[in-house]
Amino acid sequence: MPASTVSRLVIVGGGTAGWMSAAFLSSLFPSRQLSLTVVESAEIGTIGVGEATIPPIQVFNRAAGIDEAAFLRATEGTYKLGIEFVDWLRPGHRYMHPFGQPGQAINGASFHAWWLRLRAAGYPHPLSDFWMSEVLARKNRFDFPSTDPRTPKSGLAYAYHFDAGLYAQFLRQIAESRGVRRIEATVANVALDGADGTVSHLDLADGRRVEGDFFIDCTGFRALLIGQALGQGYEDWSHYLPANRAVAVPSQRVAPPVPYTSATARTAGWQWRINLRHRTGNGYVYVSDLISDDEAAATLLANLDAPVLDDPRFLRFTTGRRRSRHKNVLAVGLSSGFLEPLESTSIHFIQHALIKFAATFPLAKDDPVSAGIFNRIMAEELEQVRDFLVFHYHANQRVGEPLWDRARAMPIPDSLAEKMALFRARGFAIFPNQTLFQEPNWLAVMLGQGLEPQAYDPLTDGAPLEEVRSGFDAMRRTIAQVADGCRPHEAFLDDGAAAVMARARA
């Protein structure tokens, strides 16, 4: 008896989610065990604007058997060390959410607790001076993290910016080379088995029929299988995150690409800027009640630093989620829900779903026990990230602008209120180990958004202040020197393959 009776898996949709699913699953399951088919429509386009990622994507790429240098070349990719938030607290203010962490814990207290103690005594240097990812990003330099805890490079972490369309093509080549079958056609009907309500097959518009034991719905916002065929409803989170439109436009590259994403607050939302090797990605995420599409496009175009390369593209969405695994269907990508791209988390949720799906792979077509666990894990992760995004809006001082006034006044989830209270009381940001955004992530954004702790960790009171101060001063100098010794980001990209190989040998 095989461990699972699922041997034919059909992926519907050939966007980022569809091809990530195919590349990942084909690296885990040999084709003799699991046959994989991707059905993608030439008539229905992809969203194709997911360009910024977060560090866990490296785990996914490795698991999918992807070579970093080849991937960066194929996708016009750049490195990413964090996200800069401009004007979010108030106009004229900026801060960064850098990846990685500042310093190491000392005597049981986190690094930032020592810094808070110093600051309470008048220490003038910001925490960002001790955050290697931010120091490098600000100097437009790059290097890989080190496993040696004695160097500040051990605190680095990185992700990528890339062209999402090229990423899907790259993944498609990998998946097809491993035997994944591709069918180009539009699905006209999703047929259910009358006996148990599972999906039995797909009827294609050209008359063909595709059968499978299990189906992955990667049809984007259409949610053709999970929503339309299986009727899984959508939980709307617009009351927390009201942005519901975006307008995106690529522009010419004008300067060497910086290794961070920019998010600039605007009256009705915020504007992203993502440096790729061959162009710059730009977009304005906005609330349609507060600004018309034409005004949003005009604002975006007025805030570019180079000529556009295409017409602006308008996108609509509703923030929220749905139960993404039901019967013999798993929804991956936009079909499972959407959180605005403020912290670049959508592609992460694709990989998270795939990794958790593999860990709870269905033992039979309909495996409600595995599905139940999977759905709980996804729901918890999404809620944690939702809280993180809500916090960016809620903790603002942009007085007199309806979006921002409302965000300050809105009721927030209890889970977020608790995190804020803890941080305000004593500068802690402790969270369950399993969640995506951990203490350093919240710390950067909480301090950046002006949330001030009223006390510092008593564990830091044991050491003489002068000793702590001179230790910090020395560390600050070392970090600046090490950063100055790293290569410019673009030079690093130019010989990326050599650098990746050197790292593999180190």
Residues assigned a catalytic role: 80
Q: Could you tell me the smallest distance in angstroms from the CB atom of residue 198 to ligand FAD?
A: 19
d(C-alpha 72, C-alpha 69), whole Å? 5
Binding residue count for ligand FAD, defined by CB under 6 A: 39
Q: Could you tell me the smallest distance in angstroms from the CB atom of residue 18 to ligand FAD?
A: 6
Q: Could you tell me the smallest distance in angstroms from the CB atom of residue 141 to ligand FAD?
A: 23
Q: Which is nearer to ligand FAD, 154 or 169 (CB)?
A: 169
Q: Which is nearer to ligand FAD, 200 or 346 (CB)?
A: 346
Position among 218, 225, 276, 378 found at the interface with ligand FAD (CB under 6 A)? 218
SS3 annotation, 154-195: HHCCCEEECCHHHHHHHHHHHHHHCCCEEEECCEEEEEECCC
Q: Which is nearer to ligand FAD, 109 or 168 (CB)?
A: 168
Question: Would you give the binding string for ligand FAD spanning residues 119-158, x where CB under 6 A is met?
Answer: ----------------------------------------
Q: Any contact of residue 320 with ligand FAD (CB under 6 A)?
A: no
Q: Any contact of residue 249 with ligand FAD (CB under 6 A)?
A: no
Q: Which is nearer to ligand FAD, 346 or 375 (CB)?
A: 346
d(C-alpha 237, C-alpha 432), whole Å? 23
Position among 164, 166, 429, 443 found at the interface with ligand FAD (CB under 6 A)? 164
d(C-alpha 438, C-alpha 429), whole Å? 8
Q: Any contact of residue 159 with ligand FAD (CB under 6 A)?
A: no
Burial letters 90-101, b for 16+ CB under 10 A, else e: eeebebbbbbbb
Q: Which is nearer to ligand FAD, 19 or 131 (CB)?
A: 19
What distance lies between CA 50 and its chain's CA centroid? Answer: 9
Q: Which two tokens stand for residue 237?
A: 């989170």
Q: Any contact of residue 16 with ligand FAD (CB under 6 A)?
A: yes
Residue 310 C-beta-side C-alpha neighbours within 13 Å: 12
Q: Could you tell me the smallest distance in angstroms from the CB atom of residue 274 to ligand FAD?
A: 7
Position among 219, 275, 360, 449 found at the interface with ligand FAD (CB under 6 A)? 219
C-alpha dihedral (476, 478, 479, 481), degrees to nearest 10: 120
Q: Any contact of residue 18 with ligand FAD (CB under 6 A)?
A: yes
Q: Could you tell me the smallest distance in angstroms from the CB atom of residue 218 to ligand FAD?
A: 5
Q: Which is nearer to ligand FAD, 284 or 456 (CB)?
A: 284
Q: Any contact of residue 53 with ligand FAD (CB under 6 A)?
A: yes
Q: Any contact of residue 17 with ligand FAD (CB under 6 A)?
A: yes
Give SS3 for 416.
helix
Burial of residue 80 (CB within 10 Å: 0-12, 13-18, 19+) is: buried
Give, for 39, the enclosing helix (H) or strand (E). Answer: strand 35-40
Q: Which two tokens stand for residue 76?
A: 């016009």
* Residues 84, 86, 90, 92, CA torsion sign: positive
Residues 449, 88 contacting (CB under 8 angstroms): yes
Position among 4, 26, 46, 271 found at the interface with ligand FAD (CB under 6 A)? 46
Q: Could you tell me the smallest distance in angstroms from the CB atom of residue 23 to ligand FAD?
A: 13
Q: Which two tokens stand for residue 165?
A: 């369309």
Residues 97, 343 contacting (CB under 8 angstroms): yes
Q: Which residues contact 334 (CB under 8 A, 6 or more apart)?
A: 15, 17, 47, 220, 221, 223, 317, 346
Nearest to 25 by CA among 224, 212, 230, 231: 212
Residue that the structure tokens 């604007």 belong to? 49
Position among 11, 23, 36, 39 found at the interface with ligand FAD (CB under 6 A)? 39
Residues 158, 99 contacting (CB under 8 angstroms): yes
Q: Which is nearer to ligand FAD, 321 or 419 (CB)?
A: 321
C-alpha dihedral (301, 307, 313, 316), degrees to nearest 10: -40
Q: Could you tell me the smallest distance in angstroms from the CB atom of residue 39 to ligand FAD?
A: 5
Q: Any contact of residue 186 with ligand FAD (CB under 6 A)?
A: yes
Position among 61, 275, 344, 460 found at the interface with ligand FAD (CB under 6 A)? 344
Position among 220, 320, 427, 440 found at the interface with ligand FAD (CB under 6 A)? 220
Q: For residues 416-455, which are near ligand FAD according to CB under 6 A?
A: none
Binding site for ligand FAD (CB under 6 A): 12-18, 39-41, 44, 46-53, 164, 186-187, 218-220, 222, 224, 246, 248, 283, 315, 317, 333-335, 341, 344, 346-347
